[in-house]
Structure 1
Amino acid sequence: MEKSWEPPNSTDALVRAFPSRLAGDVRSVLAVVPEGRLSSADPFQVEVWGETVTIPSRIYHDEPNADVVRSLSGIQQVILHCLYSRHCDGRVRQRHLEQIVRLDEAWVVPFVVQLAGEYVVEILESIYRGLPGLGVPDSVQRGLYGEFIARNPVFFARVERRVVSYWSCYYRWKYPDFGTYPGGLLAEAFRAAASERVGAPWPRHTPAPLMNTGGQTT
């Protein structure tokens, strides 16, 4: 179980959520972010193109006002949306996710994949709608997500298990077949991307899709 993250300098901790080449832009964003009510919590580490980043599972900062956000550069606005996709309020997470999910940036990918392993089904639907390229062989999106999963197999396996857990606990009544659950659809698409990237079937940590065979399932 991951421990709460309470670094002495939360600004430095949040800078580490992004590749080092973005540190200056991250600090510019954090300069306009209201002070957090609590320490950022439960970080997870992933590799992004050969560099380890440490991303909080939750942040507890109020959102800056719209005028402040508009004053940021384009890349700084993307950084801000990534950070607030980790917000403690699910509606805030979804709003900021929808600003980044279609972007073809490797350092955005872990923020999106982490959300696929969370419990808000509307967020899962937003991710699925925002990643149409996952179903297209050799697309940019499929390449980015396949590369990320190939570099972070343990992290992705944990995401898959969380998808199954939340489906079983909260949504099984609505989606008896895991393969029709938005999180199940995402997991399948992510695995297909990883399989294409490595040229071999990617390990499964979710129920296999049901196959209709003459009125029976297997």
Structure 2
Amino acid sequence: MFQDGFPKYLRDDVANVIGMIPKQTYNNVTHNESQVTIEYFQDENVIKFPYRIYNIDNSDKLIDNLSVQQKMILHCMYSRSCDGFIRQKHLNSLLLMDYEAWAIPYIVKICDEYVVEILEMTYDILKEQDTEPIKRFCFENNDLFCKSYSRMISYWNEYYRNNYNNFHQYIGRKLFRECFGYSRSMEVKNRNL
């Protein structure tokens, strides 16, 4: 499930957290995770995790029994939930922690999705933080990051254009530019490769 989604030195913690996640899924989906995976590079390693998981969230029952690192791992995992409310809950908890650099791929990925409330929450928290580590990660994954920016625009165009008709004021654009470091020069770099 998430064995390749975290640095190797966290394998035991990842295995412990995976062991605590219930096998029961929402709507009795027959598989626990999507076949589609997300891949990023971080510190010259490939980070790979499922696009979605379908496991029921029972984290409230087990969070107190986890170390700080295990809590971060759990929040990262559930940020991939099929339920937007669960994704938002766990991302909020993660962002309010002193999260490690290995959590950044999960933070960035969730922000190219369609839930504007997640973008608003993320921006409100990150605008008060030092986001240089996130910007470095996005620069390291320039091609994928530019695709994420395009996805965010597509969702704005499809779902939010009527409510936020000025894209320059749209929260997704502000988040990607101010907190993640997006600039047009990143797109130009991709074209020149």
TM range (shorter): 0.7 to 0.9
Instruction: Tell me which of 55, 60, 68 is aligned to 2:62.
Output: 68
CA contact (8 A) 1:84 1:92 kept: yes
Identity of counterpart residues, as a percentage? 33
Look up the match of 1:108: 103
AA aligned opposite 1:143: E
CA distance in 1, matches of 2:139, 2:72: 24
* Larger gyration radius, structure 1 or structure 2: 1
Tell me the secondary structure at the aligned position of residue 132 of structure 2: helix
Pair 1:40 & 2:33 matched? yes
Output one character per residue of 1:127-182: Cα deviation in whole Å (capped at 9) or x when no partner: 10110246xxxxxx322011101110111011101111000000000111111111
Look up the match of 1:164: 153
CA distance in 2, matches of 1:133, 1:65: 27
AA aligned opposite 2:18: L
Tell me the secondary structure at the aligned position of residue 80 of structure 2: coil
CA contact (8 A) 1:85 1:93 kept: yes
Look up the match of 1:17: 5
- Higher normalized helix content (fraction of residues): 2
Give runs of ≥4 in structure 1 deviating > 6 Å: none
Post-superposition shift, 1:63? 1.3
Tell me the secondary structure at the aligned position of residue 55 of structure 1: strand
Tell me the secondary structure at the aligned position of residue 16 of structure 1: coil
Look up the match of 2:72: 78
Post-superposition shift, 1:26? 0.4
Closer/same/farther in 2, CA of residues 133 and 148 from structure 1, 3 Å limit: farther
Tell me the secondary structure at the aligned position of residue 203 of structure 1: helix
Instruction: Mark the runs of 5 or more structure 2 residues left unpaired by the alignment.
Output: 189-193
Q: Calculate the TM-score normalised by the size of structure 2.
A: 0.86
Closer/same/farther in 2, CA of residues 191 and 84 from structure 1, 3 Å limit: closer
CA distance in 1, matches of 2:128, 2:45: 25
Post-superposition shift, 1:203? 2.1
AA aligned opposite 2:17: V
Of stretches 37-46 and 161-170 in structure 1, the one that deviates more from structure 2 is 37-46
Closer/same/farther in 2, CA of residues 89 and 186 from structure 1, 3 Å limit: same
Q: Calculate the TM-score normalised by the size of structure 1.
A: 0.77
CA distance in 1, matches of 2:180, 2:54: 32
Closer/same/farther in 2, CA of residues 65 and 55 from structure 1, 3 Å limit: closer
Matches within 5 A, 1:135-214: 141-190=130-179, 192=181, 202-204=185-187
Post-superposition shift, 1:65? 4.7
Instruction: Mark the runs of 5 or more structure 1 residues left unpaired by the alignment.
Output: 1-12, 135-140, 196-200, 206-218
Pair 1:87 & 2:81 matched? yes
CA distance in 1, matches of 2:102, 2:77: 12
Post-superposition shift, 1:64? 2.1
CA contact (8 A) 1:191 1:202 kept: no
CA contact (8 A) 1:104 1:144 kept: no
Question: How many residue pairs are counted as aligned between the two chains?
Answer: 181
- With CA pairs under 8 Å and 6+ residues apart, which has the higher RCO, 1 or 2? 2
Instruction: Tell me which of 119, 123, 148 is aligned to 1:128.
Output: 123
